[in-house]
Amino acid sequence: MKPKFTSIFYRLLWSYSAIFLLLFTAIFSVLFIKISTNQVHCTISKLHQEILNDRHQLELELFQTLTNVKAWSTLSVMDNLLTDDADQQLMRRLETLKQQYQLKGHVYALSNKGVLVAADHPIAKNLNVNVWYTQTQTSEPFINKHVSPVDGSSIIAFWQPVKASFNDRQIIGYLIITYPWQDITEFLANMPTSRHLMLFNQAGVTVHQDQYLPLINSIKMLNSTDKKSWSSSWLTRYTETPDDAYYEGTINQQDFFIEILPNNTATPLTNVWQWVSLVESHQIYAPIKSIVIDILELGSIIACIAFFIIYLLSQYLSKPIQTLTEIASEIANTLDLSKRMDSYGNNEIGKLATSFNDMCDNLEKMWLEKNKINQDLQALNRELEQKVAERTQHFAWQAHHDTLTKLPNRELLDEHLTQSIARSHRNSTMLAVLFIDLDGFKAINDDFGHEMGDYLLIDIAKRFIASIREPDTVARLGGDEFVILLEIEKKEDINKPLERICALINEPIIIDDKVLKVSPSIGVTIYPLDPSNSDGLIRHADQAMYQAKQKGKNQTQFFDSET
């Protein structure tokens, strides 16, 4: 009797046979791929070692520069930083050191107050070297890539404190040695063209890349390049070494193997940069092209045989499954749950048909319940959306206003100040910025309590609001400090508003038979007589207010850039 292959067992048997054939093909291919990648391993390891050697060479050169600045900072001639003719004596000594050691950069001496005292070459007086002096107040002896305050070139720098020979705890100045960034660029540009190098600072911004690479501004932009997941799954798995982390990515339609070198204690100076090596993919794949071709030819033959077998099996196995799929698709498109599947006997397919029909029955019952639930959910969702909108509007107001006085806070003040500056510039008018501090407010808090102090601040705020006009602004910065923005035609127009504001503040506040009295200290700066930006205007008005406070209570002081 001819056997009937109607059981799902036989169908699965043939399916597993086909799957086994495909798995055999995959294993056969992986073995060939592993052999091929072993040939690539040497290439990647060599390139990795080359860049480590170059980095070590640069590390040694920078370390020598740091060693020099440490040694020279202890020279006895540095005691001249305490004398009046320090600049001449030090300049001659610094010139000698530069010539003797053939330094690529320059040597500078700063006083302990950050004043540039001497250099190995003639310099202008009163140069602003805050970029160096600020770094000397930290513990890091290395200053990353920046613009030289002396000649405007790109440099890095090393510094060391200069201590008095008679007291090694007294810092009398600082010694700075610069290193031209151009020399680092030229050193890195002389690397072999088989690989490319990029450097990123601690903020992730590109500080160096060679001319053969597409423009990449930051390491974030590099990390956003398209990565080839298939490469990471087999090639890089077999080419990784303990010190590297390669992945393949596409930059401007060009494929690269990218390695982000980890920092380590052996290179402390160059650790300030993130080193990234890029190698064009075709250089990595070149040794395995012939092997890949052989694998593809053999794999194609095996694939053709496997696909032919799968095709025959699919014809045999797919008929009942296809019928089920068509009915399920029709139900999905028409939502007609009355469709049912014919029985296929007592085998697994027949049981599947019965289960499918039962499922349709249950879905039809659930559909009505689902519609009712959806209606309830939609009503609830609309209610929640309305509440969220109201709460969002409330939070937005709180984010820009002081909770006690309801006045604009610093953030909203900055917006109004920026708009007022633009309006003043556009209309050729002036903008007065008043920084007000309440004299005697602390005493009221101490004598009567914070609740009474808060009541006073609220009353003062109401007086301010009543005394200004549109589009003027009054804001509270915190504590007893307020800022008022007044738009005026000329400088003299500020006098009457100042008198009115002083009178409002000086007027006593009576609360529960208690007389509260404060006076204002007011600092004033006027745009565009003071051409600063918004932060600068507030800072200058604050400075003027402190000058007013120094003169006594109830005083007004205009900002003067010369003082």
User: What distance in Å separates the CA atoms of residue 391 and residue 286, rounded to the nearest whole number?
Assistant: 62
Query: How wide is the angle at C-alpha 255 spanned by C-alphas 253 and 257, nearest 5°?
Result: 150
Q: 206-209 and 226-227 as β-strands: parallel, antiparallel, unpaired?
A: unpaired
Asked if 480 is an active-site residue, the reply is yes
C-alpha span between 437 and 3 (Å, rounded): 103
- Looking up tokens 């109830």 gives 554
Residue 198 neighbours by CB distance under 10 Å: 22
Three-class SS state of 476: strand
Give the tokens for residue 53: 């050697």
Residues 6+ apart with CB under 8 A from 182: 153, 154
Q: Which of 480, 513, 535, 560 is catalytic?
A: 480
Please tell me whether the peptide bond between 528 and the residue prior to it is cis, using omega within 30 degrees of 0.
yes
Which two tokens mark 503? Answer: 């009178």
What's the distance, CA 312 to chain centroid?
A: 57
Q: What is the per-residue DSSP string for 313-381?
A: HHHHHHHHHHHHHHHHHHHHHH--TT--PPP-TTSHHHHHHHHHHHHHHHHHHHHHHHHHHHHHHHHHH
Q: What is the dihedral of CA 168, 171, 176, 177, to 10 degrees?
A: 0
Catalytic residues: 480
